[in-house]
Amino acid sequence: MTEKTATLDEHLDETLRRIRVEFERTGEIHTGFQCVTDAEIFAVPAHWPDSSAKGAACAALRDSFRRRGVNRYLFASECWVGKTPGLVPADDPDRGECVQVIAVERNGPRRYAFAEITRNGGTATLGPWQVNGDAPQGWLLELLEEGHSDRAPKAEPPPVDRMSNADFQDLADQHPEQAAEFHDSVEICAQPRDLIADQMRKGANGDPMATFMALESVLLSIVKDMGSPNVLVGRFARFLRDHPDKFPMFPTVPDQIPSRQHIRSCKAILRRFSREKREVGHTSFAVFEAFMNMYMCVGSQAIGALRLADRIEGWDPEQQAKLRQVGLRSSFELDDEEGQVFIALSADRYPIGVIGRRNAVGDLFVSRMVACPQSDFAAAVDTVKQSGAELILGSEAKELLCKMEQVKGVAPRADTFKEIWEVEFKKIWEVENWGTEEWAEQVVAEIAFAKIMNVQYFPDSDTDRGRVAGYRVCRAPNGLVLVASDSDEDIFVAVKVGPTKGEARVLGWLRGSEGKLSRFYQKNCWVIPPEALHDMEKLPGKEGLRAMPPFQELPPQPGAYGLAWIGWLEADGRLFFPFADWQH
């Protein structure tokens, strides 16, 4: 029996056995996913440094699993268990620890197992497994779910995969020139890696960002020599996003300022290597492939694969054309050390700025928008002046920001730009500064929607806003509230909870893009009144809920918020809870 042929329960049993052996040997487990497709089994390490990264990981993994045809995955991690009512595990001084394992089958069953960790000095012991047939709800269980949408799915090319021996033979038979170029790139592929390793041994260890910048500089010069990179860009950026098992989504090394000396030294060696390989007959494409493979490996460790994929797409002629349409040019058009770095800041749009380079004749070439970490505009201005970079202020800076805003496709009113960017990555509970009452209201809203729609659900404290059966369910005491970080594509369902938490009413639904309109904007957010929401009878995907497990009462799970209640549904859509016992 293998993971491909095993049932979900058999696969889970084998995973629990393996985890226990690993924990007894080392006192810890490796957090991550094991994914099963019809053709392969692969493992994805789980590493997200903060809540924003967790949201990016959720979206990236869902896309990767869909494109690679994942039919089943198991996720294992260590987690905290709250033991004090009213406190989340992170704030509970009496919290415990456990190992949790989640098993999900596409269009099939789900399983949840956990075992308590007991620590005595330097010895850690794993207790007996408790396995539940009904897994608690949370984003970790929804990576095979596409949610519900009334929009046609976006067309996308098939996943970029490795070439088999048979595929290469077919290529050689049908397109011998392409096969020769591919064989040429394979022949020299490992050599840049050896050069980098040799640099590390000579004292460059601990400076991966400098290595990455040197690689990018040489790679861009090769791309320019080859001509338009649009045939190549999508393939490599897509491969990075589709293979989190090979390329870490987020940086794995400490963030640090690179050494200019190492950048120049490494760049000189790599340029000499590129020149020598072409002089002895290797094609530009072969040299490009060799450098690109190394660039992806080093870059995913230095800045993370998701950010690296975005950076690669910045080379795309289509992206550069968007800049030219608004009168801007990309810094990728400049040579590596050409021009003086500038930062453009405008007081009315702080903390957002634009970074780029000015060439010798005074033309500006933009790189990206940045969020300044300083607490106020004056402090940021002083910091830029001390850094030696050119500081652009006033109308010129405002014009640059306005044009970059157009390229990004975000066009809030000028007087709200600063407010929106200040909370761009914040979640609703951060913007509204939720306390215990607001969190309790949110949980009741999620449970009420699940019960009214008759779908199985259990609230999970690991998510900031409940995603129930693919919908984003939100407490709506004074209308549906959206913030900048909310997805334009998601469907949001507004639920108004009564003051005693014993009554809840579903008000309606709206897509994120429909709610983020100027007429609904208030400070830091958009507030959509109930009368502007769509009727629940027209909820997209509503019919598909009938195939999901029906709602049932579930006991609280480790690390999750829960409500114990008895309730009923009134004819007018209100859900009543005669009593509600808040527990954790």
Looking at the DSSP bridge assignments, the partners of residue 495 are: 475, 506
Question: For every residue of 420-475, which 3-state class applies, written as one string?
Answer: HHHCCCCCHHHHCCCCHHHHHHHHHHHHHHHHHHCCCCCCCCCCCCCEECCEEEEE
Helices within 303-376 (DSSP H only) = 305-313, 317-325
Q: What is the pLDDT of residue 114?
A: 92
The residue among 489, 70, 44 whose CA lies nearest residue 305 is 44
Q: The tokens 């390329």 sit on which residue?
A: 247
- pLDDT tens for each residue of the chain, 584 residues long: 566 678 999 999 999 999 999 999 998 899 999 999 998 999 999 988 776 677 778 878 988 999 899 999 999 999 888 888 777 777 788 889 999 999 999 988 889 999 999 988 878 899 999 998 766 666 787 788 665 445 555 566 666 555 555 554 554 455 566 556 666 666 676 677 777 666 655 554 557 888 888 888 888 888 777 765 445 667 888 899 999 999 999 998 887 777 778 888 888 888 888 888 888 888 777 888 888 888 998 899 999 999 899 888 877 777 788 888 888 988 888 876 788 899 999 887 787 889 999 998 889 999 888 778 777 788 889 988 888 889 999 889 988 988 887 886 544 444 444 444 444 446 677 667 788 888 888 888 888 888 888 887 766 544 445 788 888 899 999 899 988 777 777 889 999 988 777 788 899 999 887 888 767 877 778 889 998 899 888 888 877 777 777 776 655 444 444 343 334 444 444 444 433 333 32
Instruction: Read off the tokens for 453.
Output: 């729609």
What letter does residue 201 receive in the DSSP assignment?
I
What is the distance between the alpha carbons of residues 457 and 451, in angstroms, rounded to a whole number?
A: 8
Q: What is the pLDDT of residue 454?
A: 86
The residue among 137, 160, 6 whose CA lies nearest residue 72 is 6
Cα–Cα–Cα angle for 239, 356, 291, rounded to 5 degrees:
35
Distance separating the N- and C-terminal Cα atoms of the chain: 40
Total residues found in the chain within this entry: 584
Task: Say which residues have a Cβ less than 8 Å from residue 371's Cβ, sequence separation at least 6.
Answer: 351, 352, 353, 421, 424
Decide: residue 50, CB within 10 A, 0-12 exposed, 13-18 middle, 19+ buried: exposed
Q: Which helix (H) or strand (E) holds 510?
A: strand 503-511
Q: What is the pLDDT of residue 498?
A: 84
Looking at the DSSP bridge assignments, the partners of residue 280 are: none
Q: What is the pLDDT of residue 113?
A: 94
Buried b (16+ CB within 10 A) or exposed e, 133-166: ebbbbbbbbbbbbebbeeeeeeeeeeebeeeeee
What is the distance between the alpha carbons of residues 289 and 219, in angstroms, rounded to a whole number?
A: 10
Q: What is the pLDDT of residue 423?
A: 46
The residue among 563, 571, 308, 575 whose CA lies nearest residue 460 is 563
Q: What is the pLDDT of residue 75?
A: 95
In the chain, where the domains are located:
8-141, 171-315, 328-422, 428-583
Task: Say which residues have a Cβ less than 8 Å from residue 45's Cβ, sequence separation at least 6.
Answer: 30, 31, 32, 245, 248
Q: What is the pLDDT of residue 555?
A: 52
Q: The tokens 């429909």 sit on which residue?
A: 514
What is the distance between the alpha carbons of residues 204 and 200, in angstroms, rounded to a whole number?
A: 4
- List, in sequence order, every beta strand (DSSP E) within 48-109: 72-81, 96-105
Q: Which helix (H) or strand (E) holds 68?
A: helix 51-68
The residue among 278, 228, 583 whose CA lies nearest residue 440 is 583
Q: What is the pLDDT of residue 441?
A: 86
Asked if 389 contacts 367 with a C-beta cutoff of 8 angstroms, the reply is no
Maximal C-alpha separation, the chain: 83
DSSP string, 27-65: SS---EEEEE-SS-EEEEE----SHHHHHHHHHHHHHHH
Neighbours of 302 (CB within 10 A): 24
Asked if 557 contacts 546 with a C-beta cutoff of 8 angstroms, the reply is no
What is the distance between the alpha carbons of residues 291 and 302, in angstroms, rounded to a whole number?
A: 16
Q: What is the pLDDT of residue 92?
A: 81
Looking at the DSSP bridge assignments, the partners of residue 534 are: 509
- What's the order of all strands across the beta sheet hosting 491-497? 467-468, 471-475, 491-497, 503-511, 574-583, 562-569
Cα–Cα–Cα angle for 33, 34, 38, rounded to 5 degrees:
135
- 390-392 and 340-345: which strand pairing? parallel
Cis check: omega of the bond before 412, within 30 degrees of 0 = no
What is the distance between the alpha carbons of residues 559 and 544, in angstroms, rounded to a whole number?
A: 30
